[in-house]
Amino acid sequence: MTAVTKPKYARAAAETAARESYGRLLAVLASRSRDVAAAEDALADAFATALQQWPLNGVPEKPEAWLLTVARRRAIDRQRRLKAGIDAQDHLLLIGEESKAMEREASGEDVPDKRLALMFACAHPAINPEIRAPLILQTVLGFDATTIAAAFLVAPATMGQRLVRAKARIRQTGIPFRLPERADLPERLDAVLEAIYAAFSEGWSDPAGDSQRHDLAGEAIWLGRLVVSLMPREPEALGLLALMLYAEARREARRTAGGDYVPLAEQDVALWDDAMIDDAEQLLAHAMRLAQPGRYQIEAALQSAHCARRQTGRTDWPAISELYRMLGRLSYSPVVEVNRAVALAEAGHTKAGFAILERLSADRRLSDYQPYWAARGLVLARLDRNDSAREAYRRAIALERDPAVQRFLQARMDALPASLSN
């Protein structure tokens, strides 16, 4: 232990450990008991204990190992209270295994990384397909149900109930926390990739340059590389990694020096990371050679089309709108349709873009989806329907959490000329 630490520094150390180590710690805790909910409770107790003890005793030299040891003790205590009778022998074996593990951690060994095994366990066929990716997000990356619900356009209460049932299912069926046989990997891959992409997207939103979200995007890229190393000839894994690298390469261009938001089509290409884009291009080319087109490869191709502006100096909106059409046919999503509508408008087919947005207006999932209203404002403005455009922008501004994007949308709304009618 270090010397006595001021409370704010101890709290910062605990928050850093939670951000950087939550998934690793939970994966190790749950790998033996197969009880994700109990592991979460034990880990929460360990963090609460850290907030109490670290300001008094100092931050431990290895915070991860300290937290894991405390969490394991909490888990063992809980097992002692719950287990009896015919379960006693299995219970004693579990306690013995956990005690040995704690001895290894006390000797200074690093905490093993079992996140990939946990991800594939959460994608087990016994788990309802619609909850596999959300379950991975909560267990491996520590997302709360509200954030996950927003990402999947589901009510928070509904998502919370589904997650609770999924964790109970893991415990009841005894799903093993290990990498499946190679033949079983493909059927679980979709959920794993979907969770990684959702994590990256949350990190990519990066309001006000939040470093924690930037860390999350980096974590998603790391997990993507891990999956590619496990399945190097899986085109969708390659496509997702390429997609994330294309986007991450543009991070520095998304804000001005003063913190203002800059849309993709207006970004300074000199600020893009050329080496990262080249890496993405190679990954996408490798995926395409495997001749098994999929969602992430097309999304990566969309990013590649935007990045081509480095050489051409212009954005090929017709090609981008066509790629969105292909993506919609392969994997329909209202979000894809919103983007296609914007691309069509940018390509000069504004009425066609507006027709898409009108069809989507009946989709209740989009009523609180900011990009839909921002897109509607843009397209209505192109049609000189300025009053309706203002109303759409007002909705978008009210739904947006990032102050920089709010200012950007406000500026677009303020630039609309006055109109007597729509």
- Taking 70 as the threshold, does the pLDDT of residue 96 lie above it? no
Question: Both tokens of residue 72?
Answer: 């394991």
Give the pLDDT of residue 94: 45
Name residue, tokens 């899986």.
Answer: 234
In whole angstroms, give the CA distance from residue 361 to residue 208: 30
Of the candidates 138, 183, 133, the one whose C-alpha atom is nearest the C-alpha of residue 39 is 138
CB-based burial label for 138 (10 Å; 0-12, 13-18, 19+): buried
- Taking 60 as the threshold, does the pLDDT of residue 310 lie above it? yes
The CA radius of gyration of the chain, in Å to the nearest whole number, is 24
In whole angstroms, give the CA distance from residue 164 to residue 161: 5
In whole angstroms, give the CA distance from residue 350 to residue 391: 18
Q: What is the mean pLDDT of residues 128-156?
A: 83
Name residue, tokens 């291009």.
Answer: 281
Give the pLDDT of residue 88: 47
Give the pLDDT of residue 207: 52
Question: Both tokens of residue 289?
Answer: 């050679």
Name residue, tokens 């997000």.
Answer: 137
Each residue of 175-228: pLDDT tens digit? Answer: 877 777 878 888 889 989 988 998 898 888 765 555 445 577 888 898 899 899
% residues pLDDT > 90 (the chain) = 44
Give the pLDDT of residue 410: 97
**HEC assignment per residue over 355-389:** HHHHHHCCCHHHCCCHHHHHHHHHHHHHCCCHHHH
Split at pLDDT 50, 70, 90, the class of 348 is: very high
Spatial neighbors of 294 by CB under 8 A, at least 6 apart, are: 235, 236, 239, 330
Name residue, tokens 């089509």.
Answer: 265
Name residue, tokens 């299995």.
Answer: 90
Give the pLDDT of residue 99: 44
